[in-house]
Amino acid sequence: MSQTEEKAPKQADERGLAGQVIGDTAVCAVNQTQLMYRGYEIADLAANATFEEVAYLLLVGNKPTSDELASFKSELASMRAIPNSVKDAIIHIAKNTPEAHPMAVLRTSVSLLSHLCPVCEDNDAESDLRKSMYLLAQIPTCIGVHQMALDGKTPVEPDPNLDHAANLLWCMSGEVPHESAAKVVDVSLVLYAEHDYNASTFTCRVIASTNGDLHSSVCGGIGALKGNLHGGANEAAMKMLKEIMESVEGGSTADDFMQHAFETKKKLMGFGHRVYKNGDHRAGILRDWGLKYVNEANPDAMKWFNLGDEVQAIMLRDKNIFPNVDFPCGMTYFSLGIPVPQYTPIFVASRITGWCAHIMEQHQNNRLIRPLARYTGEKLRSWNG
């Protein structure tokens, strides 16, 4: 290359719409240093708001007054029961296809619920809000019925006296949860509730933009969230940590495992983020609450957090990559005794609020989402030539 020649500038990788703004929203703002729900920063919400308050904020659009919150919680509690036909279908799947992924079962459950919703096909604001509240209330029940049936137990009825997070744990186990357990799950639901145009939310908005109904849009969101590069990452992160623990208990070290993973280019789940290049601030919040729970109620689980801290330190030292929220979520849910395959359905029990807020926003100011593609195939040719 001559001295006057210059290399062409490296093109940014635009695959996956990386770095491209594709729409407007008043629901959420995400950048490298901040995550806000309707103007409220996530650390503020995690420290000072309950999940029901955050749900109201996202779905209705403003911080609830004490009377509005009481009415909202009472109405949600009255909506928690699911029709017997849906319950029977979930139990049938659990008994006859126990290997079915819980996200697939939940996707089917939401689809079944749509057939029994009298305003399913109505996309006006009032109907959408009503459907959003029903799904917010009923999804924990669906998760609980499935898990209890998998465990060979008779599903319990939702408890109207418990808050959303506590009721979710009750439905999954038939046991009233420790106060600290309910609190840490509540915080996790706050942290997972919304994240602008992520893959599943974008999927919901694309479906809604066709004038598709809210239930169809949510089913699409569940399908997108099921993948281990999105919602399934918390399951994959815990599975990876269990592999590391087995290696350590077998006489190796976490550093040995990590170095081998680096050399073989094994994907390490729960690290890195498309937006948060300098660390996902939700991760630290959830880690701290998880540690608080372990110290108060399950000290035997401290080994997972100690190992997690070691793995994080190695990733930061050798790769300068920070954990995302899925990494401490895996450890925290595992310490609570939640079955790993149910981690992502619990994510849905939270993100349903963000999805529905975006679906309503799309319906109320709609334009069909129809991007263009860059063609890279063969040039024009003749079939007979």
**Residues labelled catalytic:** 230, 273, 326
CB 225 within 8 A of CB 348: yes
Both tokens of residue 346?
A: 């619990």
The alpha carbon torsion through 219, 222, 223, 229 (nearest 10 deg) reads: 160
**In the block, residue with structure tokens 């590069």:** 229
Query: Count of CB atoms within 10 A of residue 370's CB?
Result: 8
CA atoms of 148 and 113, how far apart (whole Å): 19
CB 359 within 8 A of CB 221: no
Both tokens of residue 348?
A: 């849905």
Strands 34-37 and 28-31: antiparallel
Sheet containing 34-37: which strands, arranged edge to edge? 28-31, 34-37, 40-41
Strands 40-41 and 34-37: antiparallel
Question: CB pairs under 8 A, 24+ apart, for 7-15?
Answer: none
Both tokens of residue 115?
A: 């057939």
